[in-house]
Amino acid sequence: MLSAFANALKTPDLRKKILFTLGIIVIFRLGSTIPSPNVNIARIDECLALATAGESAGIYNMVNLFSGGALLQLTIFALGIMPYITASIILQLLTVVIPRLEALKKEGASGTAKITEYTRYLTLVLAVLNATAFVTLARTGQLFPGCDGILYTNELFPLITMVLVMTAGTGIIMWMGELITERGVGNGMSIMIFTQIAASFPAGLWAIKQSHPGAVGWFLFFLVIGIGLVVMLGIIWVEQGQRRIPVQYAKRMVGRRLVGGSTTYIPLKVNQSGVIPVIFATSILYLPVLWATFRPEGAVSVWIQQNFAGQGMLSSFWYNLVQFVLIIAFCYFYVSITFNPEEVSDNMKKYGGFIPGIRAGKPTERYLAYVLSRLTAPGSLYLATIALIPTIAFMAVGANQNFPFGGTSILIIVGVGLDTVKKIESQLQQRNYEGFLR
């Protein structure tokens, strides 16, 4: 693999792409450390230390994860890539229910470009809303409950400036991600997410070591790294798994030529939905916490705070049970809207394709739906189990919610890493090199 990496750097155009990508990542990380105007950095550090010890900032863990810790420090890139992820998911769901978007999706490159434009606009709208919400939380002292003074002034103009700076930061991140896609290596937005999550790994690992004094801390430090590598290998094995449904195309005359007669396959992955169900489930579980935060009185709010927020949620039976069920449900939901057996069957029939032993039309549609449902069952259980890793880590080594090898983070790290390596490998193979994966 090292020799393949050396070959990649020896190729001039590929070397430029890799160095360009690394340069954008460096700029991205620098922006994640520059504070927004009107932010008291010294006070932020004190409040962040108190919040980490008391886990009072647990409600923002998902967004903070995708910002590499920049959110709770209120930097210019505080919102990270999360508004773009949310906008992309919303547009993807709306494509199923809005005929106009569905028609654009079927138009090919021009339609995709239009949907991308809509995604950009929606990203900026969501960035304004998110920035306004977090600046308001900082102003009212609810960003770090019981810890105030993180802003120098609560006057209107400085607060508006903070919102505009954070929104502009999201726009710059989106632009840099598109630059990586066009001129660099891999998918720019995915690499941005990868960078922010990977940036939180050293601090999370060191926190585990610091939580136990002496040799025990070092033992747990290396044990967690070893277990994390084993979990990564397991995720790679499952993510690469797929059911290949053979498809044959009958020979037919097109003009004066005889075409067709080829054999191919439809690859159905075990984890067809990726990490989206985990993000959906986590987002849904934050809704009752938000409700309890703004209406803290009452037995229901107290029960929600005890079981669905802070450190208590890791050991809560109800939180883990609801999360487990939601992930499985969202797996089936997301697969149903991203893979349409009827559409695939119609396209096969249109071009003279058929599955050996299965009649074209409705029988093919039912067969594809049957196979997909059988694959989604183990895939959903796999995702739900991976999502429980922070809970298992908490019970085993006393880790907190920022456990570095948590479900969402490790799935994204492995998925983006595999995709980027494959794209570099494909470019190496075009130049007669063996590539990374032999």
The pLDDT tens digits for 262-271 are 788 888 888 8
Which one is predicted more confidently, 11 or 84? 84
Q: Using an 8 Å Cβ cutoff, are 235 and 410 in contact?
A: yes
pLDDT at 163: 92
Structure tokens that stand for 375 in this block? 């694959």
Residue 340 has pLDDT above 80, yes or no: yes
Question: 59 falls in which pLDDT band (50, 70, 90)?
Answer: very low
Residue 167 has pLDDT above 90, yes or no: yes
pLDDT at 54: 47
Give the separation between CA 251 and CA 254, rounded to whole angstroms.
10
Angle at 83 between CA 420 and CA 161, to 5 degrees: 125
Q: Would you mind telling me the total number of residues written for the chain in this entry?
A: 438
Give the separation between CA 319 and CA 378, rounded to whole angstroms.
22
Burial 285-319 (b: 16+ CB within 10 A, else e): bbebbeebbeeeeeeebeebbebbbbeebbebeeb
Question: 343 falls in which pLDDT band (50, 70, 90)?
Answer: confident
**What is the average pLDDT value for the chain, to the nearest integer?**
79
Closest among 82, 77, 50 to 63, alpha carbons compared = 82
Residue 85 has pLDDT above 80, yes or no: yes
Closest among 73, 410, 399 to 231, alpha carbons compared = 410
Query: Which residue is associated with the tokens 């797929």?
Result: 242
> What percent of the chain clears pLDDT 90, i.e. is strictly above it?
9
Q: Which among 107-116, 155-164, 201-210, 303-312 has the top mean pLDDT?
A: 155-164
pLDDT at 82: 81
Q: All domains of the chain, ordered by start, with CATH?
A: 1-199 (1.10.3370.10)
Closest among 289, 367, 276 to 329, alpha carbons compared = 276
The pLDDT of 112-126, averaged and rounded, is 90
Q: Using an 8 Å Cβ cutoff, are 326 and 280 in contact?
A: yes
Residue 142 has pLDDT above 80, yes or no: no
Structure tokens that stand for 55 in this block? 């886990």
CA dihedral 392, 66, 142, 73 (to 10 degrees): 110
Tens digit of pLDDT for each residue in 382-437?
A: 888 887 776 676 666 555 555 666 667 788 788 888 888 888 877 777 766 555 55
